[in-house]
Amino acid sequence: MKSWCLGYEVKNMSYEENKTNASNIEIIPCERINCKGAAPCVLNINSYMNVYEFEDKIMKYMCNMRPVMDEFICVNLDVIADRPVDFIQSLVEGYIRYDGVHIMKNYRVEYGKMDKEGNNHIYVLEAPDGACDYDMAVSVFAMVCIEGKAPSDWYWKEITEKVFAKKEESTEVMHVKGIDWKEAVLLKRKMRRVLGAIIGDIVGSVYEFNEIKTKDFPLFSEHCCPTDDSMMTLAVASALVECKRDYSKLAAETIKQMQLWGKKYPKAGYGSMFSDWLRTNDPQPYNSFGNGSAMRVSPVAYVAKSIEEVKELSRIVTSVTHNHPEGIKGAEATAVATYMALHESKKEEIFAVINAEYYPMNFTLDEIRADYEFNETCQETVPQSLKAFFEATSFEDAIRNAISIGGDSDTIAAITGAVAGAYYGVPLHIEHKALKYLDKLQVSAYYRFVKYLCGDAEWFEES
């Protein structure tokens, strides 16, 4: 795999001056900026630090380069300017930075920040035993960036240098108290992946009754919107938050939250029986085996502590409506696959469990695509949704696979997105676009669930 360097050169000019010049993005050789990394080229961006208006353009380059970025990323910056904290957080979680972060081959993290006197303060954050993978480095550093905290068994070294001057390392080591780093890393991974099902729903919303049998289509359009899949996913997430791990209350809270969300968004595209259930004063399960059980279940995978618990939670949130064995099985298969993906099971391991315990997976998308028709049952949508994940090479590829099947596109893509999001993570540029389709209440519910996953940690901050 090639090693790349992403360099950010920011002109020292006012926002208004730079706005007239627009932004300039180009690929240049590393030696032009005296890059410290052994990398063949650099992405050079000339723009004011607050580059929201240039974000889509920048993210396009990030997306195109992402396949070769995973082994080694080095970010160089000549001029540091003020920028909003939420933008910094978004960038560090998207594997790019504007203030001099180096994520080295051995995953040591260096953080540079310029003071008012022009001195560049470099902080090095490394695990004492050297055991640090890429996600861990980025995740831990995100916490440091937000709150100035580091996990207790990591340490800082501070280096001071004049701009372009030779670096002289200080011998001072500062120990910083913090939360357990292993748990923090897992939580940060979860944060970006929760949206997988909702993104699939949003992308698929325009194709539910206008199916296409190809992977070549605009991922987002002005006609996209969250549907019942998203509303009920957020309802289940809200129920889990309200229960505070007292799952004896989960069934009742799930009913309460689903009815609240259903009344708040009555035109989200619910089925007729479920619409009646949302409005009744005495909601009872109605023996359904529709795919509505699978489309909403993914949040349980994020709170469960074991495979056994994810199965139990899945049954609880499902059986309030879908108490047919096939409805329960479809939701459980989705929840188990999502849980295994989140906890770093290999794709072949997930496949083996689904194939042995839930659905035979002895087919390919190419074999079924031409003749597949609209169907809303679990047994005719969940296997196809999971196959879209199994045949994918990335999160976006999984969503495109799901849409290309046709049929109940938003729900198929929501199920696929839940598992693919947990497995691959959600790219930053896709997350940002998807959030624009959610209203304030929906975004608030998403962040509330994420904050609950983080245990209301002090370092958590909405991006």
Q: Which residues are annotated as a binding site for Mg(2+)?
A: 227-229, 408, 410-411
Interatomic CA distance for residues 23 and 246, integer angstroms? 52
Rounded (to 5) percent helix, strand, coil in the chain: 50, 10, 40
Distance of CA 453 to the CA centre of its chain: 14
The residues that bridge with 111 in the sheet, in sequence order, are 101, 123
Rounded-to-integer distance, Cα 292 and Cα 274, Å: 9
**Other C-beta atoms within 10 Å of 363: how many?**
12
Please state, in angstroms and rounded to a whole number, the distance separating the CA atoms of residues 287 and 395.
Answer: 33
73: helix, coil or strand?
Answer: strand
Residues making up the annotated binding site are 227-229, 408, 410-411
Answer whether 137's CB lies under 8 Å from 104's CB: no
Q: Which helix (H) or strand (E) holds 119?
A: strand 119-126
C-beta of residue 322 within 8 angstroms of C-beta of residue 328: yes
CA dihedral defined by 425, 431, 437, 443, rounded to 10 degrees?
80
3-class DSSP assignment, residue 310: helix
Distance CA 10, CA 98 (A): 9
Q: Do residues 255 and 243 lie in contact, with contact meaning Cβ atoms separated by under 8 Å? A: no
Q: Which are the contacts of 99, defined by CB distance < 8 A and separation ≥ 6?
A: 77, 80, 83, 88, 111, 112, 113
- Which two tokens mark 266? 């009555």
